[in-house]
């Protein structure tokens, strides 16, 4: 059953839903609408606080889904406000969304208003205003079925649906990409859908593909090139393409980034991506200058504070020999900006875990442990895609600061078992292998170390070597059910 029914039950303090004789008819019509109330957006998959902060930031910056439109941020935030039991704010935001769409698209705005009207119809229904709900419902029907016949969803609806899914949760990303592809199938040369699809691909593609020799052939690079050809004056697309090419085609990437900054010198998204690019290229001071300038207009941006912290961490790692005072200065600045990022966006798991490691460097182990535990709980409850990263950080915390090797192995193992395809999983595998090989070199009969080598080999796809290590581990520890189970599974896979 779709998510709106659960929400309706949650809001039981409103007027009874079966108030009028024709309510059942109205409800059946509402269920046909394309709306966030009918897209099965499960509340348990949603980070209300994080989404609220992100969408409000987009509105404050005057930027939206395509990095240059904001009207949809109003309507999505309205849905969040409804879930937060703030219906008046929700209605106001939807009204602002309608105004922005009309201002942007003029006479062609009706097709863009389908989802906004659908949300208004559902919001009116849930707050007991059935007459207003019917009015908005009719508006959608007049746009979609002017002759009484139904059709395939309009590309504008697919686009709105796609961006909602993309922002909503990582688990909804496949649905988002499917909607973007359907919009492109209907309008393959449309500049908006090509740009949107390119940006979405960039956001969802695994980070480790950036350093791959085949990056030039990756779907995101191909789509960014196509979108840039259609939108040659879109600085955001040029900046993203520069980032994707920076590891293979240095000169082209440099040229693209300079052009992006020339086109959009005041676009905060261009500034952000340019700062990432220059930091990765070792031009940290230029990245800091760009971010400080962006911070003047976006002082409440958790992203910018996070990026500044990463720059100061980079400067710390590049410090001159025997210059501890300088290192402490960069660490304090990094801590300061990470603290601000976490304050502005409490569920900022990545920033929280990085801050914990800096606290550990600063010998504040208690605060470090607390932050890592919070990050672990948040990622378990809100977004499990962050779990490998948190376990990697937790393992580093114990490896370099508490020296508790059993905890090091526990967290690296969990990170590896969650994923081998990401950078975090590969790092966990690398660390475990080094620990295990060191122990085996000292004691060839260390069953735990042999088991770890078996685990790493299996994760890396080397099943035969994994079998050898697990057999050796069982020779030393014949009653270990974990090794026995892994060995049986591997032998079955090899048959």
Mean pLDDT over 150-166 rounds to 86
Asked if residue 435 belongs to a domain, the reply is: no
* Reported confidence tier of residue 247, pLDDT bands at 50, 70, 90: confident
Please report which residue ranges of 298-362 form alpha helices under DSSP H: 302-317, 324-344, 349-361
* Reported confidence tier of residue 65, pLDDT bands at 50, 70, 90: very low
Both 16 and 37 in a single domain? yes
Both 131 and 189 in a single domain? no
User: pLDDT higher for 168 or 309?
Assistant: 309
Mean pLDDT over 104-112 rounds to 88
Last residue of a domain, one of 151, 175, 193: 151
CATH number of the domain residue 233 falls in: 1.25.40.10
> Minimum mean pLDDT among 22-26, 214-218, 298-302, 458-462: which range?
214-218
Mean pLDDT over 130-141 rounds to 94
Asked if residue 297 belongs to a domain, the reply is: no
Asked if residue 35 belongs to a domain, the reply is: yes
Last residue of a domain, one of 231, 265, 299: 265
* Reported confidence tier of residue 146, pLDDT bands at 50, 70, 90: low
Q: How far is CA 199 from CA 169, 203, 218, 239, 475, in A?
A: 16, 6, 14, 11, 52
Which domain range does residue 238 map to?
Answer: 152-265
Asked if residue 473 belongs to a domain, the reply is: no
User: pLDDT higher for 268 or 163?
Assistant: 163
Kindly tell me if the per-residue pLDDT of 75 is higher than 70. yes
Split into its structural domains, the chain has a count of 2
Both 195 and 117 in a single domain? no
Both 93 and 103 in a single domain? yes
Q: How far is CA 4 from CA 39, 122, 131, 470, 480, in A?
A: 8, 9, 19, 50, 49
Both 113 and 186 in a single domain? no
Both 13 and 137 in a single domain? yes
Both 27 and 143 in a single domain? yes
Kindly tell me if the per-residue pLDDT of 172 is higher than 70. yes
Mean pLDDT over 112-120 rounds to 95
Both 139 and 168 in a single domain? no
Give the tens place of pLDDT for each residue, 4-34. 444 443 333 344 444 445 677 899 999 999 9
Give the tens place of pLDDT for each residue, 378-424. 998 877 889 999 999 999 999 999 999 999 999 999 999 998 888 89
pLDDT score of 107: 85
Both 138 and 21 in a single domain? yes
Give the tens place of pLDDT for each residue, 332-342. 999 999 999 99
Asked if residue 256 belongs to a domain, the reply is: yes
Q: What percentage of the chain exceeds 90 in pLDDT?
A: 68
pLDDT score of 151: 56
Kindly tell me if the per-residue pLDDT of 453 is higher than 70. yes
Asked if residue 390 belongs to a domain, the reply is: no
Last residue of a domain, one of 239, 265, 291: 265
DSSP type of residue 128: T
**CA distance linking residue 256 with residue 245, whole number of Å:** 10
Both 56 and 161 in a single domain? no
Asked if residue 405 belongs to a domain, the reply is: no
Mean pLDDT over 80-106 rounds to 94
pLDDT score of 207: 58
Stated pTM of the model = 0.82
Q: CB of 373 within 8 A of CB of 347? A: no
Both 23 and 52 in a single domain? yes
What does 375-416 look like in DSSP terms, one character per residue? HHHHHHHT-GGGHHHHHHHHHHHIIIII--HHHHHHHHHHHH
pLDDT score of 6: 41
* Reported confidence tier of residue 216, pLDDT bands at 50, 70, 90: low
pLDDT score of 15: 41
Both 191 and 99 in a single domain? no
First to last CA, the chain: 43
Asked if residue 61 belongs to a domain, the reply is: yes
């Amino acid at each position: 059953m779709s998510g709106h029914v659960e929400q309706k039950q949650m809001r039981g303090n409103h007027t009874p839903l079966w108030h009028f004789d024709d309510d059942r008819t109205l409800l059946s019509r509402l269920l046909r609408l394309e709306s966030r109330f009918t897209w099965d957006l499960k509340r348990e998959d949603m980070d209300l606080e994080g989404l609220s902060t992100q969408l409000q930031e987009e509105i404050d910056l005057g930027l939206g889904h395509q990095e240059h439109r904001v009207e949809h941020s109003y309507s999505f935030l309205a849905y969040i406000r409804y879930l937060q039991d703030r219906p008046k704010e929700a209605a106001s935001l939807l009204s602002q969304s309608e105004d922005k769409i009309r201002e942007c698209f003029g006479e062609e705005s009706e097709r863009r208003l389908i989802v906004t009207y659908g949300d208004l119809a559902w919001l009116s229904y849930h707050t007991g205003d059935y007459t207003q709900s019917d009015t908005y419902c009719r508006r959608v029907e007049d746009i979609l079925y002017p002759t009484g016949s139904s059709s395939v969803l309009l590309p504008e609806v697919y686009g709105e649906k796609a961006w909602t899914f993309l922002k909503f949760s990582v688990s909804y990303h496949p649905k988002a990409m499917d909607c973007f592809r359907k919009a492109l199938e209907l309008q393959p040369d449309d500049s908006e859908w090509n740009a949107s699809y390119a940006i979405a691909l960039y956001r969802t593609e695994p980070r480790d593909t950036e350093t791959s020799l085949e990056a030039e052939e990756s779907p995101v690079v191909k789509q960014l090139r196509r979108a840039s050809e259609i939108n040659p004056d879109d600085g955001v697309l040029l900046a993203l393409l520069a980032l994707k090419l920076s590891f293979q085609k240095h000169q082209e990437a440099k040229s693209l980034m300079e052009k992006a900054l020339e086109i959009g010198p005041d676009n905060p998204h261009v500034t952000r991506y340019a700062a990432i690019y220059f930091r990765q290229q070792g031009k940290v001071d230029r990245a800091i200058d760009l971010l400080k300038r962006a911070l003047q207009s976006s002082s409440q941006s958790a992203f910018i504070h996070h990026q500044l912290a990463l720059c100061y961490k980079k400067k710390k790692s590049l410090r001159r020999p025997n210059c501890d005072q300088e290192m402490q200065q960069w660490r304090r600045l990094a801590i300061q900006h990470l603290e601000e990022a976490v304050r502005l966006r409490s569920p900022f798991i990545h920033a929280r875990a990085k801050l914990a490691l800096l606290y550990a460097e600063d010998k504040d182990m208690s605060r470090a442990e607390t932050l890592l535990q919070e990050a672990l709980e948040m990622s378990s409850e809100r977004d499990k895609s962050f779990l490998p990263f948190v376990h990697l950080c937790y393992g580093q915390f114990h490896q370099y600061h508490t020296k508790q090797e059993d905890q090091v192995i526990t967290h690296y193992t969990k990170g590896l078992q969650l994923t081998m395809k990401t950078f975090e999983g590969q790092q966990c595998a690398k660390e475990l292998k080094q620990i295990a090989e060191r122990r085996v070199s000292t004691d060839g009969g260390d069953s735990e170390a042999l088991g770890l080598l078996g685990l790493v080999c299996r994760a890396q796809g080397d099943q035969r070597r994994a079998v050898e290590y697990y057999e050796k581990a069982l020779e030393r520890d014949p009653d270990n059910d974990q090794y026995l189970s892994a060995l049986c599974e591997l032998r079955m896979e090899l048959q």
